[in-house]
Each structure stands twice: as structure tokens, then as C-alpha cells.
Structure 1
Amino acid sequence: MLDAGAAARLSRGRQARMPNTPRVFLSYAREDRALVDALARDLRHLKCEPIFDEQLTGGQAWWDRLLDGIEQSDALLPVLSTSYVDSNPCRVEAAYAHALGKPILPIAVETVSTGLLANYLAEVQWVNYDPEAREALVDLVLGIQNLPACPPLPSPLPDRPAVPISYMTNLKQQIESTEDLTRAEQLVLLDQLKEKLGGPDDAIARSLLRGLQGRSDVTVRVANEITELIGAPPAPEAAPQSLPSTQWVPRDAPTVTPVTPPPSWPPPPSPVPMPRSEPWTTGVFIGLILASLFAAGIFGIVFGAVNRKDEGKRQQATALMWIGIAVLILVIVVGVAGGFEPRSK
């Protein structure tokens, strides 16, 4: 018994089609998208209906649409290139078309070794394609005309393959893993993503680099290299400030004047200011200096007067006494002339 989905796909595959208008499924790698667009235009000019993935998004719905296109097609046209050989989704598409019995016409856009391909691709006739060479269209027309008729879809239909894990998906899983990445693993991821910048996967590579840059275990070297490649991470957005709540008032509502309560009597006593300690001023320091000089002068006079009677110390005692007298006179003059200015409060 067929399930509803398989029966619907089987009926679609057996629907009558326009004569001489084959529906061909183009299987290609995203790096060859420009060539595939040119090939699709030439196929339409040749009265063919190309079916191919024009979105390259991903996910289950995307994969189901691709498998629908293979089932509804009259032939599979794999666009062979080095990128095609490395593409896991392309290999799965070709294997499913082969399981359905679809005729296969490989379109070579680059030199590819047959040893890298499955037998059902390597052992059939290839067609070389170059959008700039018009003679390639002749080979393309002959190749499509020589394709065998597409048989009916098998019953029951083979199991549909699961969504393939692409190369970029593997990198994404590593970066989003909760396990710590070693320094060597981070450097390998960085090198692999750097190679994708500027190519068809540029946007995906930048997004994955930003994810690697935001990991808590990222090393300083890797973070700095990512900053040089795509810039510093964006600053976190500031939390929106809450607006004050407002109460709706009807337009025709009467205006209410707030009533101010009367002041209490007697008024509360004013606080008594506490005395504050006055900082030392310049006058205090000058006073201390003058007091020290005054004491030194008195000491010089007393010491000189006492030791003048000693013949050996008379000369030094006289000099010290006169120095003391001079210091006293200086202190008196400074005190009288300058004085101490009273401080304003």
C-alpha cells in the first residue's frame, strides 16, 4: 500500500506533459550558480523546462521541493564541476534520481575525473557546456534528443533520502556546540570560514564567524583575527526606558485644582548648625615660623651674653648675640608691618 504522499507523487509523475517539452532537473553546486543560470536560459530557448533550486535556502521544506522536482522531471542533468564532486546534496540528488530510473545527462562545465563519480554518472555520455561557445548548444540539443524515454515512477516509490548535512552545516554545529573548543579547533574553523568569504557562501561564513567570535571560550588570537575580517561585534542594545504611566482624562472633565494643606504651627525648629573645625590657614604657618625665629633670637642673645666672658668663645658668642638681636628685630618688624589678617566667616 502507498501512503497518501507517495500516491500523490506517483500520480504527478505519470501526468501527461506537453510534447517535445521535456522537464529536466538541474543538480548543481552553489559555486556554479552563474553557469546554471546561463544553462537554464539556453534550455528554455531549446523548448525545455528546467527545474532547479533557485533559492538555496535549506531545511526540510526546501529538501522536499527538490525531491518533488526530481520525481516530476523527465531527466536529471547534473552540472559537473569540482564543487559538484565535493557536494553531498548533489550526490544524494543523483542517487535518488537513479533509484527512480530517471535518464541522466551529465553537463560538464569543468574537467572532472570520472573516478570521483558514481558509476551511473561516469559511464553515461557527457556533454561539455560553455555559455560563450554557441557550438556547445548543438551538443546540448543532441544530448537531450538522444535521452531515452523516462519510465513511469516505480511502485512503491523508494524511500526519500533525509536532508543531507552540508559542509557549512557541519561548521555551524561545531560553533553552536556547548562543548569547549580547543585552540587548534578554533584555528581550523577560522581558516575554513576565511576561505568562504567573498564567495557564494559569504553571508553564511560571516554569520558563523560572528558566532565563533561570541563564544565564551574563544581565544584572543582568534577573536582579534575575526575582528580584522568582519569588524568588532555589535554593542548590546540598551534596554528601553519605561515611560511614566499616564491616566486618561476625558476632554470635557472639570479641572480640579489641587488643595495645598496649611502649614503646621508652630513651625518646626530650625536645626542648629554644628561648629566646624577651622582648617589651618597661611597665617597660622607664618605665625609658627615667626615664633620659631623669635625663640631662636632669644636663645642667641642669651647664649652670647653668657659666653662673652670666656676668652676662647668671646668672638663666637658676640657674633651669635648680634645674630639673635637681628632676628628679634626682623620678627618684630614683620609682625608690626604685616600682622595677621582676620579670616572672614
Structure 2
Amino acid sequence: MRVFISYAQEDRVQADHLKQRLLDLGHTPWSDSGLHGGQAWWDEILDRIRGSDALLLLISPAFLASQACLLERRYASLLGKHLVPVMVAPVPHHVLPTELAPLQIVDYVHPGEAAAYAFARAAATIQPSRGLPHPLPPPPPVPLSYLNGVRDRMGRPSLTMDEQLEIIELLGRGARAEDSEERRAAHDLLQMLSRRTDLYESASRRLHEHLMSGQYVAPAPRPAHVPTSPPAKGTPTAVKVLAWIGAIFVALILLIWLLAPSESQCFSDSLGYIWCS
């Protein structure tokens, strides 16, 4: 059967793993290789959903926050596609959307023999698609379409200060969105905008505030020299002071000895008196 894998980018490793499981079970899985954005990318996604027999939904907190995953499963439901939800990260049952709560969800949070059997049983229930409804439901809009519009505006050769501030505020809200894909895309656009040489001072300051408060702040550069071992312990200060005092004392003794008059010469005369010169 043709299976479309719907997942959030944070769950890419689990998606690749389950894709191989589907291949081993004789299915033909397809998954997006990454978020490319734009109308052509979204048109391909929708075409793959229409041509699939079922959607494999990788349930996780990131999946539930993803705008693209939401649009994919809603469009598939309108087309009458079989939904196979598989939980790959813990999500409380009461927070599941209404279209998923009644479905039997495969627990694949801890992959193992039991999880593999449960997944194989769920995959065995997939049946060929009954065909598309006529007329087709209207296709959902491209996710993050407002960011695509912002990027087009950023491509203009010149922007007024008000235009710069408006774009920065839009991207700042996107950088704080729940959808990880939206946050990533908004942050990338903020970085791109920061490289413009015609930013006004107030716009530049506001832009860097968003970058510094965002989730994708680049780590600070490491210092040029990082010691690999702790420095050797030096001589205690008190010992150094005593050594200097001793050296000065010896120097003073030598100086006094050198400046002192030479030893007197004494002799006695014939009467027995001692004379010294």
C-alpha cells in the first residue's frame, strides 16, 4: 500500500526508522525529505496525499504543534484516507485533537519487540484507497505563507523604517511560535535581514533583541586558548616575601663589609706600650 508519513522535523529519526519498517512489511512509504517551503513543495505534498492509501501519523508534542502536520491530516480526512496514528513521544490522551482521540494509537515511544508487533498489526489493516471524492475538497493553503510574503518584502532594494520595523515584529512573533518549523524559518529570516546594510538604528536594535531572546541563538565563540590542564601551583606569596627579605639582608651585610675601614695594625715599643695605627 502507498503510505504517506506525516511527521514533525524533530521526529525525523523515528520517521526514517518506521519508513524502513513499512518497506520490510511490503508497503510503499513516502516522506518529505525536509522543509523546503513554497508553493511547489506544498503542491507535491498534497499530490502525494491524494495518491496515498493511508497516512502514518507520528504523534508527538512537536507533531501536534506543527501547522503543516495539522493541514496534512485534515486534508487527508476530507479525502477519506485511512489514518494510522503511531505515538513516538509521550503525549497525554486528553490533549489529542478530536479527529485522533477516537482512533487506536500504536505506542512506539519505546521501540522493541512488542511495539514492532503492534505496528505490524496496524500496518496490516491498511486497505487500498476507495478513490477520491468528487469534487475534490479545496486544498489547504501553504503553511507559513505569511513568512513567504515577508521574505518577498525583504527582497526589495530599499525599505522604509516603518517597513523594517513591521517585518521585524512579524518575524519576532514567528520566532516565538509553538510550531518548531515556523520558529526555525522566522529565525533564519531574522538572520538574513540582519545582514542588510541599510537598517535603521532602531530597527537594527529591535532585530537583535529578537535574535538574542529567541530559541536559536548561536552559542558564544570559544576563547582562542583553552587550557587543557590546570596551571601548576606557584610558590606561595609568603615564601616569596621571606626570600626577598633574606636577599636584601645578605646584600646589606656585604655592602657594610665592603665599606668598612681595613683592620688596624698594632705594634709594641721598647717600653712595652702597644701602638695601633
Asked if structure 2 preserves the Cα contact closer than 8 Å seen for 1:46 and 1:141, the reply is: yes
2:17 matches 1:38: yes
Matches within 5 A, 1:232-311: none
Aligned-partner Cα distance in 2 for 1:213–1:190: 19
Corresponding letter in the other structure for 1:165? L
TM score, norm. by length of structure 2: 0.60
- 1:30 deviation in Å? 1.4
Asked if structure 2 preserves the Cα contact closer than 8 Å seen for 1:213 and 1:223, the reply is: no
Deviation digits for residues 58-100 of structure 1 (CA, Å, limit 9, x no counterpart) = 1111111111111111111111111111111111111111011
Matches within 5 A, 1:89-104: 89-104=68-83
Give the aligned partner of residue 26 of structure 2: 47
- 1:121 deviation in Å? 1.6
1:119 pairs with 98, 104, 108, which one? 98
SS in 2 for 1:35: helix
Give the aligned partner of residue 181 of structure 1: 165
1:76 pairs with 48, 55, 69, which one? 55
Asked if structure 2 preserves the Cα contact closer than 8 Å seen for 1:27 and 1:78, the reply is: yes
Matches within 5 A, 1:153-164: 153-164=132-143
Q: Which runs of 5+ in 2 are unaligned?
A: 221-277
Corresponding letter in the other structure for 2:165? L
Corresponding letter in the other structure for 1:59? G
Deviation digits for residues 241-279 of structure 1 (CA, Å, limit 9, x no counterpart) = xxxxxxxxxxxxxxxxxxxxxxxxxxxxxxxxxxxxxxx
- 1:119 deviation in Å? 2.5
RMSD of aligned alpha carbons: 3.9
Corresponding letter in the other structure for 2:67? N
Asked if structure 2 preserves the Cα contact closer than 8 Å seen for 1:127 and 1:140, the reply is: yes
Asked if structure 2 preserves the Cα contact closer than 8 Å seen for 1:38 and 1:131, the reply is: no
The size of the alignment, in residue pairs, is: 206
Give the aligned partner of residue 203 of structure 2: 218
CA 1:174 to 1:137, structure 2 compared with 1: closer, same or farther past 3 Å? farther
Give the aligned partner of residue 208 of structure 1: 190
Asked if structure 2 preserves the Cα contact closer than 8 Å seen for 1:108 and 1:126, the reply is: yes
Aligned-partner Cα distance in 2 for 1:31–1:64: 22
- 1:161 deviation in Å? 1.8
SS in 1 for 2:83: coil
Asked if structure 1 preserves the Cα contact closer than 8 Å seen for 2:81 and 2:129, the reply is: yes
CA 1:32 to 1:173, structure 2 compared with 1: closer, same or farther past 3 Å? farther
SS in 2 for 1:125: coil
User: Higher relative CO (CA 8 A, sep ≥ 6), structure 1 or 2?
Assistant: 2
Give the aligned partner of residue 315 of structure 1: none
Corresponding letter in the other structure for 1:109? V
Asked if structure 1 preserves the Cα contact closer than 8 Å seen for 2:4 and 2:49, the reply is: yes
Aligned-partner Cα distance in 2 for 1:155–1:186: 38
- 1:170 deviation in Å? 8.6
Give the aligned partner of residue 244 of structure 1: none
CA 1:99 to 1:220, structure 2 compared with 1: closer, same or farther past 3 Å? closer
Asked if structure 2 preserves the Cα contact closer than 8 Å seen for 1:30 and 1:200, the reply is: no
SS in 2 for 1:31: helix
Matches within 5 A, 1:332-343: none
- 1:115 deviation in Å? 4.2
Give the aligned partner of residue 119 of structure 2: 140
SS in 2 for 1:158: coil
Give the aligned partner of residue 329 of structure 1: none
CA 1:31 to 1:171, structure 2 compared with 1: closer, same or farther past 3 Å? farther
Relative to total residues, which structure has the larger strand share, 1 or 2?
Answer: 2
Corresponding letter in the other structure for 1:66? I
Aligned-partner Cα distance in 2 for 1:167–1:115: 31
SS in 1 for 2:137: coil
In our comparison, the structure showing a higher alpha carbon Rg is: 1
- 1:101 deviation in Å? 0.6
SS in 1 for 2:84: coil
CA 1:122 to 1:115, structure 2 compared with 1: closer, same or farther past 3 Å? same
